[in-house]
Structure 1
C-alpha cells in the first residue's frame, strides 16, 4: 500500500506563526525544534540543509557558513537575526 497523503497548508499570518512557535517550545526538544523552525523561515533553507546542521555549527556563533546540498553553493547564515523579530 502507498503512504497516506497529508494535506499541509502554509501558515499565512503572523499570529498563527507565533502561536506555532510557542507550542513548539513546550515540547521535550522545544528549543531545538523552535530553532529549526526559525532557521527555515528566516533563511529559506531546504529541510535537508537544516537537518545537516550540527549543534557546533550554530551554538555561540553569530554566523556560520554552509554548503547547500542540492546546489553545492556556499552560504553564510547570520544566526543573530534568527531570534529577533
Structure 2
C-alpha cells in the first residue's frame, strides 16, 4: 500500500465516521475516533454486503457510502450495548 492509498483510506474513514456520527445522533468521537469508526464500519460492510449479495460498485463515492452504512451499523450496535 502506497502513501497515497493510505491517505485516501484515512480520508474515506474520517468522512464515513463523521457522516455516521451525524446520522446516529449523539455520537461524535473527534477526528481520530471518526477515522476509527469509519474504518471499522468499512470492514463490517465489507464482510456483510457480500454475504447478503449486495454490491455498491467501485470508486471513492461507493467506498464512502459503503463505510458509512457499516459505521452506522457499528454505532447502533454500540448504542444497544450501552443501553443493556
Instruction: Please confirm whether the aligned pair reaches a TM-score higher than 0.5, indicating the same fold.
Output: no
Normalising by the smaller structure, the TM-score range is 0.3 to 0.5
* Structure showing the higher strand proportion among its residues: 1
Which structure has more relative contact order (CA 8 Å, sep 6+)? It is 2
TM-score of the superposed pair, with normalisation by structure 1: 0.33
TM-score of the superposed pair, with normalisation by structure 2: 0.33
